[in-house]
């Protein structure tokens, strides 16, 4: 009688979980990939869905279709509610429980409002397709309502867009909203001109893109200014209410506010009672194992992993993918060395033709950096169809400024916010 194949459970089908599952596909292991959604999402391009440049299907792929030919990989639509580490079992919200011999936690992260969770209703974050569609609806609806609004203060509020957080997501979102409001849609409206809209990017730190060298940060800020974005640095947000943001000494009336300032890891550390940092990321061993759990790994946004310089590795796709492959090789017995991240640079784009790239000693900004950013993101998309479609969409948008996914879907908007005085605006 043949020996049973080891049971590997992977929680999360993001970049890390997908990387591990692909590495284990076709090997002599039984893999179960658990995710609460049925699709893998290319999160770096979510902001383009939120700003109507791409459709959701362009940046997402059904998990089952990805592993249709991998007979040893089973996909399970469910949500983990706890882990019985001693019993080698995970608890599921819908299907009961699942036993494992090896467990890979790649559960990702969610929004963090730094103790102000009530801000979420007024400033949605961007982590899922639902988030992107919600933000797209808010942005496009604000433009539609502004077209017929006769109250000057209310109209100014509708045409003011605030993005909170100056990291890559915030910078990319602010640039894309500016292009959408000032260039892409102004020709389709009769009372909205390129100069009607106001886009504000707020960063609590001293510079945008704080993970980048100062020279690239300055180049990014200049590119944002060229697009008409007002950049407020060293300006912490103290309050967000319906239709208003208080940042520093300024009160900004804005109908659309987007949160891109903070993230919090999943409850994986709580499930295991593991030591974690203030973002909830598990402190792992150098081989990515959870301390005191020989057969449990944590990767991606779930793990706190220092790089060779001692700094915690960034929450970006290449890190998670390399970690996923690393733990898969350890399970297969092909690798026993500590994880070492091989960096291919840090990238961020600002609008349709400018980007910044940090390759360590070599730094680049401008149009060529944008081309490299574009090709890199197309290459890392899952599926040949997505690469072709996104490439065509970007080429068409570059030539025409048109955004083909300008659809207002979902629930109706809340009643317009009433402004009674000039000072409130």
Which pLDDT score, from 0 to 100, does residue 402 have? Answer: 66
Nearest-CA neighbor of 203 among 160, 174, 177? Answer: 174
Active-site choice (172, 179, 250, 423) = 172
pTM for the model: 0.90
CB 174 within 8 A of CB 256: no
CA distance 333 to 330: 5
Question: Same CATH fold, 117-261+350-400 and 7-36+78-111+263-331?
Answer: yes
CB 339 within 8 A of CB 326: yes
Is there a catalytic annotation at residue 250? no
Which pLDDT score, from 0 to 100, does residue 425 have? Answer: 41
Tokens describing residue 347: 């990238």
- Rg of the chain over all Cα atoms, to the nearest angstrom: 22
Which pLDDT score, from 0 to 100, does residue 3 have? Answer: 81
Which pLDDT score, from 0 to 100, does residue 244 have? Answer: 94
Tokens describing residue 179: 């292009």
- Give the torsion through C-alpha atoms of 11, 15, 21, 25, to 10 deg: 160
Which pLDDT score, from 0 to 100, does residue 403 have? Answer: 67
CB 47 within 8 A of CB 172: yes
* 191 burial via Cβ count (<10 Å: 0-12, 13-18, 19+): exposed
Question: 7-36+78-111+263-331 belongs to which homologous superfamily?
Answer: FAD/NAD(P)-binding domain (3.50.50.60)
Residue 154 CA to chain centroid, in angstroms? 31
**Does domain 117-261+350-400 sit in CATH 3.50.50.100?**
yes
- Beta carbons within 8 Å of 424's beta carbon, 6+ residues apart: 153, 244, 251, 253
Tokens describing residue 408: 């207002």
Domain ranges across the chain: 7-36+78-111+263-331, 117-261+350-400
Which pLDDT score, from 0 to 100, does residue 186 have? Answer: 67
| pLDDT tens-digit profile, the chain (425 residues) | 458 899 999 999 999 999 999 999 999 999 999 999 999 999 999 999 999 888 898 899 999 999 999 999 999 999 999 999 999 999 999 989 999 999 999 999 988 999 999 999 999 999 999 999 999 999 999 999 999 999 999 999 999 999 999 999 999 999 999 988 887 676 778 888 878 899 999 999 999 999 899 999 999 999 999 999 999 999 999 999 989 999 999 999 999 999 999 889 999 999 999 999 999 999 999 999 999 999 999 999 999 999 888 889 988 899 999 999 999 999 999 887 789 999 888 899 998 789 999 987 789 999 999 899 888 888 888 765 677 878 877 777 765 666 666 778 776 545 445 454 454 44
């Amino acid at each position: 009688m043949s020996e049973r194949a080891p049971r590997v459970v992977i929680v999360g089908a993001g970049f890390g979980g997908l990387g591990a599952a692909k590495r284990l596909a076709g090997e002599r292991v039984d893999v179960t990939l658990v995710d609460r959604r049925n699709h893998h999402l290319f999160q770096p391009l979510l902001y383009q869905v939120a700003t109507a440049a791409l459709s959701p299907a362009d940046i997402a792929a059904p998990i089952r279709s990805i592993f249709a030919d991998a007979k040893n990989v089973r996909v399970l639509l469910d949500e983990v509610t706890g882990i019985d580490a001693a019993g080698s079992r995970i608890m599921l919200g819908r299907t009961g429980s699942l036993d494992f011999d090896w467990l890979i936690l790649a559960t990702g992260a969610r929004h963090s409002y730094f103790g102000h969770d009530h801000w979420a209703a007024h400033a949605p974050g961007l982590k899922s397709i639902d988030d992107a569609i919600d933000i797209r609806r808010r942005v496009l609806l604000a433009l539609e309502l502004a077209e017929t609004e006769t109250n000057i203060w209310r109209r100014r509020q509708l045409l003011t867009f605030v993005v909170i957080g100056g990291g890559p997501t915030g910078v990319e979102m602010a640039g894309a909203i500016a292009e959408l409001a000032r260039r892409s849609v102004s020709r389709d409206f009769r009372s909205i001109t390129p100069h009607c809209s106001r886009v504000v990017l707020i960063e609590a730190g001293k510079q945008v893109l704080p993970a980048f060298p100062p020279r690239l940060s300055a180049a990014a800020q200049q590119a944002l200014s060229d697009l008409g974005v007002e950049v407020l640095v060293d300006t912490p947000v103290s309050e967000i209410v319906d239709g208003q943001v208080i940042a520093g000494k300024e009160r900004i009336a804005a109908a659309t506010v987007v949160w891109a300032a903070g993230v919090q890891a999943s409850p994986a550390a709580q499930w295991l009672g593991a030591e974690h940092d203030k973002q909830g990321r598990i402190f792992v061993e150098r081989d990515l194992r959870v301390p005191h759990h020989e057969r449990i790994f944590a990767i991606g946004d779930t793990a706190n992993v220092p790089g060779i310089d001692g700094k915690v590795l960034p929450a970006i796709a290449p890190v998670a993918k390399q970690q996923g492959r690393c733990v898969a090789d350890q399970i297969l017995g092909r690798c026993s060395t500590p994880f070492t991240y091989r960096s291919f640079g840090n990238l961020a784009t600002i609008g349709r033709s400018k980007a910044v790239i940090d390759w360590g000693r070599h730094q680049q900004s401008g149009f060529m950096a944008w081309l490299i950013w574009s090709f890199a993101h197309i290459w890392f998309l899952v599926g040949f169809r997505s690469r072709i479609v996104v490439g065509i969409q970007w080429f068409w948008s570059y030539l025409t400024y048109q955004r083909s996914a300008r659809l207002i879907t979902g629930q109706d908007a809340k009643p317009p916010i009433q402004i009674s005085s000039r000072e409130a605006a």
